[in-house]
Chains A and B, each alone.
Chain A
Amino acid sequence: METAVKRLYEGLFLVDSAIAAADWQLVADTIHRILEKAQAEVVSFRKWDERKLCYDIGKVSRGTYILVYFNCDPQQVHDIERDVQLSETLLRVMILRTDAMTEQDIQKPTPIMVAQELVQADADKDEQDSQDDIDDIDDIDDIDDIDQSGDTDDRIETE
């Protein structure tokens, strides 16, 4: 019995970081072409993370992970996996059904996004600190003015 109903799947593709850095368009095109071939509708496509692999795959030691959510016919999933195995640019793929996942799991920020937010927060904090320092310097100038004015007052009093 054939099922015409499409299901939402989560796919994590692994690519060599050297290829991803040199030609990102090639990697994106390869994944899109494989998914199009399987008549899948891409819901979201984003880079998940770039990290050192826990073990070398072939001679590759650093990998870039790409997280894709797509609607697809369940019978086409096997074809996608086979196409990835035959592909020379893609190393591995993990395709899972999203039934057990909650919306929170799906929307969870990727490690790259978290790292970028941290960098942004640090930059904002530094900017805030430098702004505070400038304000402090202004305050010190004001204090000097007050002291000078105080001195003049004293002089007036002594006179």
Chain B
Amino acid sequence: MKMKKNTNVRRKRTLITIREQTQCRFCREGRSYIDYKDVDTLSKLLTNRGKIFSRKRSGNCAGCQRKVKRAIKRARFMALLPYTS
């Protein structure tokens, strides 16, 4: 019985830690526009090969992921970010 209690507590703790961040990184900052010239921010959302991280990996909400996608593609056109490397 004691063992079961311990596992429950662990589960609860992990759930709480996951729930702490309910918003994506851009929503938390209250940014409505994601600038394509902000290369430092955008490069964190790319793999070493230059591919865009999935929503699951980056934790972005659907709207922000679309904005990020657009910003990254604009930055790629202007040679600020790589298409591939």
- Measured CA separation A48–B78 after assembly (Å): 13
Segment at the A interface, from B6-14, B20-28, B29-37? B29-37
CA distance A101 to B45 in the complex (A): 21
Q: Is B79 an interface residue (CB 8 A)?
A: yes
Interface size range on B against A = 10 to 19
Of the listed stretches A52-60, A72-80, A150-158, name the one at the interface; the rest are far from the partner chain.
Answer: A52-60
In this complex, the interface size class of chain A, counting residues with CB under 8 Å from chain B, is: 10 to 19
Residue of B nearest to A13 (CB): B78
Instruction: Return chain B residues, CB-CB under 8 Å to A96.
Output: 74
Which residue of chain A has its CB nearest to the CB of B33? A100
In the bound complex, CA of A35 to CA of B80 (Å): 24
At the interface, yes or no: A12 with Cβ under 8 Å from chain B? Answer: yes
| Smallest Cβ-Cβ distance to B81: which chain A residue | A54
Per DSSP, chain B at the interface is: loop
A94 in contact with B77 (CB, 8 Å): yes
Asked if residues B79 and A14 are in contact (CB atoms below 8 Å), the reply is: yes
Least CB distance, A49 to chain B, in whole angstroms: 9
Binding site for B on A (CB under 8 A): 12, 14, 48, 53-55, 57, 63, 65, 92, 94, 96, 100-102, 105, 108
Indicate which residue in B33, B80, B82 contacts A101 across the interface (CB closer than 8 Å): B33
Inter-chain contacts of A53 with B (CB < 8 A): 79
8 contacts between A and B (CB under 8 A): A12-B78, A53-B79, A54-B76, A54-B79, A54-B82, A65-B78, A94-B36, A102-B32
Residue of B32, B74, B82 touching A94 (CB-CB under 8 A): B74
Is B82 touching A48 in the complex (CB atoms < 8 A)? no
Say yes or no: A105 contacts B78, CB within 8 Å. Answer: no
